[in-house]
Amino acid sequence: MDWSVDWNLRLRMLLAVALLFALAAAFVGVVAGILAAAAEPFGLPRLVAPALATLLLVGLATLELRQRDHVVRGAGAVDVDAETDPRLHRTVTSVAQQADVPVPTLAVAKTETPEAFTAGFRPSTTTFVVSTGLLDELDDEELRAVVAHELAHVKNRDVAVMTAVSLPTAIAERLYDLGTSPTGETTLENWEYRSDGKRESKSLVGFVAATVGWLFALVGRVVVAIFSRTRELAADRGAVVITGDPAALASALSKIERRLRDRPTDDLRATASVSAFSVVSPASVDEVGDEPIRLGVDGDRAATYHHRWRRMQAFVGHYLQTHPPVADRRERLKRLARER
C-alpha cells in the first residue's frame, strides 16, 4: 500500500474546510457589525469598525496560538534521548526514517493515562510526547504503530492545519468569554441606564458578543470535529503505509481504549487538556458495563429522565468528538488489511 489519496476522506475534508471558511467570513462580518454599533454612540466613523475588528481578532488569535505552545508543558513531559529511553528513541528514529520526516524531540510524561501526541507547527520543530502508561501498556510492534500514527500527522502537517481551521472557533469562544461576566452571566443582566433612558451600549454589545460567540463557537466546534475525525482516519491509514501492520495499530487502539476505561474519572479530568490531542481521546471511548439507574423500593422502575439525558449527551457528544470511535477505526483497519 502506498501513500495514495483516500478520496472519501479528501472530499469530507474539503467540505469541512469550505464550511469553516464560510463560518470565518460570517464571523468577521458579524464582529465588524457589533463594533460598528458600539462605535456609533460615540460619534466614531463607521470605517473604524473593520480596523477594530481586525485588531481584536488578531489579538485573540495570538493569544490562542501562544496557548497551544503550553501543551507540552501542560503534560508535565520531560525530554528524553537515546541514553535515558533507548527503546523509545530507537523506535521513533526508525519510524521517522521510514516516513521521511525529521526525528522529533522526544518527551515522556509520568502519568498512567495512556497518551501519545505531537506538538509543533513544522516537522523540523515537532515534539513527540508519550506517557509512561502507554509505554508500559504496549509491546514493541504496537508502540511502533502508534508512533507511525503520530508521525503521519507530522507528514500531513496536521498540527498546523488543525490550528488554522480551529482558530475561528477558538476566537469565537474567547469572544463569548469577553461578553460574559466572571460568573458566566451575560452582561444583559447587569444593564445600567443613562440619564436619557438608554441602556449602556457596552452592556448591549457584551450581550450580543456573548450570544454571537456562543453560536459561532458551537457551529464551529461541530465542523472542526468533523475535520479532525477525518485527519485521525488519514493518520491511521498513514501508519499502515509506514509500518505495513494494520493489526498492530488495531491492537494498540484496543489496549489504550481498555486502559482509559479503567482509569478513574478524576485522573482523566486531570489530563483532559492533553488527552484531547492524544492518539485516542477519552471522549471517543464508549462506556460499557454501566448499570442503568433503577428507582422504587424493589428497583423495578427505570430512571426515564436520566436515561433520556444520557442518550441526549451521547447524541450531542458524537458530533463534538475530535476522534472517531475506536470500534470504527478498528473496522477501517481491517478493511485496509484486506486491501493489502
Catalytic residues: 150
End-to-end Cα separation, the chain, in angstroms:
6
Place of cell 528513541: 89
Q: Could you give the angle at which helices 7-39 and 48-68 cross, rounded to 10 degrees?
A: 130
Q: Which of 66, 121, 126 is nearest to 95 (CA)?
A: 126
Q: Which of 304, 263, 300, 307 is nearest to 281 (CA)?
A: 263
Beta partners for 329? none
Total residues found in the chain within this entry:
340
